[in-house]
Amino acid sequence: MPVIVSTGMSTFEEIDITVETLRKYASQFVLMHCNSSYPAKLEELNLKMIPVLRNRYGCLVGYSGHEYGLDSTTIAVSLGAMVIERHITLDHGMWGTDQSSSVEIQGMDKLFKQVNSVHKILGDGRKFLYEGEKLVKNRLRGS
């Protein structure tokens, strides 16, 4: 059975031990980069840890977000997060420690659309002239 592990509140030494144990006993696992504050401060999200974790451990890495807004989760996907986790609420005013940083239903719909457009926006890294550019080039350069 796949195992999902949060790295929130953890040091590299603790993650090293966890990964060593997972490699012995779990067939599949995902390390979730996370700041476990509720809500997490944007300047403490450190999303550049996503490729660091992937390179250090050679495994799937995800992102568990506990901050206000959706952009950071979309950025996490662009940095290689393969699994995302966000808390959902029906109303930010409800009782609970994470209600204010949870995503309401309409926010999840928006996040879904944003995340699904990431790979389309990033492209494949090859340089070529798009059809729309050819029209502009012909008009501006006459060639």
For the stretch 59-78, pLDDT in tens is: 999 999 999 999 999 999 99
Question: Is the pLDDT assigned to residue 43 strictly greater than 70?
Answer: yes
Q: CATH number, domain at 128?
A: 3.20.20.70
Across 10-59, where does the E strand assignment appear? 29-34
Question: Is the pLDDT assigned to residue 5 strictly greater than 70?
Answer: yes
Q: Which two tokens stand for residue 41?
A: 């401060």
Q: Give the separation between CA 23 and CA 8, rounded to whole angstroms.
A: 20
* Domain region containing 32: 3-141
Question: Is the pLDDT assigned to residue 143 strictly greater than 70?
Answer: no
Our count of domains for the chain comes to 1
Question: Is the pLDDT assigned to residue 142 strictly greater than 70?
Answer: yes
Q: How far is it between the farthest Cα atoms of the chain?
A: 64
pLDDT band at 96 (very low <50, low <70, confident <90, very high): confident
